[in-house]
Structure 1
C-alpha cells in the first residue's frame, strides 16, 4: 500500500513553473496595476503642461527601464531625450533627480540586506564635498561648457573596457574611494548623474554584481536626495522664495514601472553580462552628453 501510494504520488502531474521564474505575488501585481493607473492619469495631466509633457513622462519611464538593469545612468539616458523636448533646464534636472530618487529607493530596498554602509560612507564623504560645486555649475554655467568633455571620456572609457578583459586593481586606497565620490558629487549636482565615477571605480575592485550595486546604489540615492534638497534651497521660485517645482511628481509612477521591469532583467544577468551592461550604459551616457 505504501509502495502504491508512492507510485501514485510520483506519477501525479506537477504544476509547471511559470516562465522566467515564479509568478509575482498578488501584492506586487496590485501595486503595478495602481502605478499603471496613476501613470495614465499623469499622462492626461501632463498633456496640459509646457515642460513636463506626456512625451517627457514616457521618456523618463523608458530611461528607468533601461538604466535599472545596471542600477545607474537614468539621468544621462533620460537627459539625451528630454533636453530636446523642453527648454527649462533646471526643472528637468529637478524632475530627473526626483524620479531617480524614487527608482533608487525601490532598488536599494530590494538589496537592503547586502548594503555595506561603512564602505558607502567613504564614498559619501567625497560626494557631499563635491556637491556644492556641482549645484553651482548647474545654476551659473552653461551646460554645454562642461558636459561634452564628460561625454567624450565616458565614450572612450566604456568602449575601451568593452574590448578588453576586465581589470582588477589590487591596491585600492581609500583616497580613491573619496575621490570618485567627490567627482560623483560634482556630476550629481550639475547633471543629476552622480553614479558614473563611483560605478567605474567599483568595477575595478573585482566585486560581484550584487556587491557593486550594494555600494553605488545607496551612494546614488543619498547623493540625489542631497542634490534635490540643495537645488530646492538655492533655486528661487517664481515668487522669489527658495523652492522647487514639484510637478516632477507626475513622472514618478511611470519611472517606478520602468524600474520594476529593469530589475527583472538584472536578476537574470551573470557578473560578466552585468559588467558589459555597465560599459554599454557608460557609452550611452557619454553619447547623450557629447551630442
Structure 2
C-alpha cells in the first residue's frame, strides 16, 4: 500500500472511531465507503469486526454506570440467534433486493422521525425484545448492519442517551464477538489484515476518545437527531450499494 492509500486508510479509521465514539454505532458504515476502494472486502469485514470489539468495548466501559442486564439480555439473545440465520439466508435469497427495501424503510423512518415529534415512548417486554433481537441479527447477517434495529428500538423507548447506548452497545459487542469468531475460523485474519489493524489502531482509539468527548457535551435531543441522521445515511448506503447491482441485472 503506497503512502497516499495508507493516509486514506488512516483517515477513514480515525473518522470511523470518531463517529462510533460520538454515537455508539455506525463505524462500519463510515469506514467501508473508503476502505472498499483500498483493501479487499474480506479485509474490510474482518477489520470492522475487530475494531467493533474495541469501539463497543470502550463505550460499555465508559457507560457502565447505566448498564442494565435485564434490558440487554433479550436483545443480545435474539441477535445471537438471528445472525447465523441471516448469513444462511444469503445462500437462498437475493440480498440485493432485500438491502434496497431495508434502505428505503430506514430512510422513511429516519426522515419521518426528524420532521415529526418523537415516536413513543413505547414499553417493550422481554419476549418482544427477543423478537426484535432476532430481526436485528437477521438484518446484520444479510446486510452487515447488525445494530440498526436494536438502536432504533432503544430510541423508541424514550430512554436517555446514556441508557440507550448502555443497551445497544453491549448488543453490538456480542454481535461482533460472534462475527469475529466466525471470521477467525474462516481464516479472514491473515497476517496482512492483522498488520493493517495494528497500523490503524492508534488512530481508531484517538477517534473514539475525541468522539466520546463531544458526546459528553450534547443533550438527549441532539443525540436523538444524530442517531436518526446516521440511520438515514445507513439507509442511503444500502440503496446506493444495491443500485449498482440492480443496474447490472
TM-score range, shorter chain: 0.7 to 0.9
Give how far 1:236 is off: 4.6
Normalising by structure 2, what TM-score? 0.84
Structure 1 residue aligned with 2:197: 249
Distance 1:254 1:135, change over 3 A: farther
Give how far 1:187 is off: 3.5
Is 2:145 aligned against 1:196? no
Equivalent residue in structure 2 for 1:62, among 3, 12, 15:
15
Structure 1 residue aligned with 2:70: 118
Structure 2 residue aligned with 1:167: 119
Structure 1 residue aligned with 2:167: 215
Is 2:38 aligned against 1:89? no
Structure 2, unaligned runs of 5 or more: 241-249
Is 2:247 aligned against 1:277? no
Distance 1:183 1:248, change over 3 A: farther
Give how far 1:158 is off: 0.8
Give how far 1:232 is off: 2.0
C-alpha offsets along residues 128-174 of structure 1, whole Å, 9 cap, x if unaligned?
10111334467897764543222222211111100011111444232
Structure 1 residue aligned with 2:247: none
C-alpha offsets along residues 237-288 of structure 1, whole Å, 9 cap, x if unaligned?
6xxxxx6543452332211111111101110111111111110111111122
Q: What SS does structure 2 have at the residue aligned with 1:206?
A: coil
Instruction: Report how many aligned residue pairs link the two structures.
Output: 237
Is 2:236 aligned against 1:287? yes
| Distance (Å, rounded) in 2 between the aligned partners of 1:134 and 1:53 | 33
Normalising by structure 1, what TM-score? 0.73
Distance 1:263 1:171, change over 3 A: closer
C-alpha offsets along residues 210-248 of structure 1, whole Å, 9 cap, x if unaligned?
111110011111211111112222x256xxxxx654345
Give how far 1:117 is off: 1.4
Distance 1:190 1:228, change over 3 A: farther
| Distance (Å, rounded) in 2 between the aligned partners of 1:176 and 1:247 | 42
Structure 1, unaligned runs of 5 or more: 1-45, 238-242
Equivalences for residues 1-291 of structure 1 within 5 A? 47=2, 53-83=6-36, 85-86=37-38, 88-136=40-88, 144-233=96-185, 235-236=186-187, 245-250=193-198, 251-291=200-240
Distance 1:249 1:107, change over 3 A: same
Distance 1:218 1:270, change over 3 A: same
Q: What SS does structure 1 have at the residue aligned with 2:79?
A: helix
| Distance (Å, rounded) in 2 between the aligned partners of 1:182 and 1:190 | 12
Distance 1:186 1:90, change over 3 A: farther
| Worse-superposed segment, 183-192 or 197-206 | 183-192
Q: Is the 8 A contact 2:15 2:30 kept in 1?
A: no
| Distance (Å, rounded) in 2 between the aligned partners of 1:127 and 1:155 | 22
Runs of 4+ in 1 over 3 A off after TM superposition: 46-49, 134-146, 187-192
Q: Is the 8 A contact 2:150 2:168 kept in 1?
A: yes
Q: What SS does structure 1 have at the residue aligned with 2:23?
A: coil
More helix by share: 2
Greater relative contact order, per chain length (Cα 8 Å cut-off, separation 6+)? 2
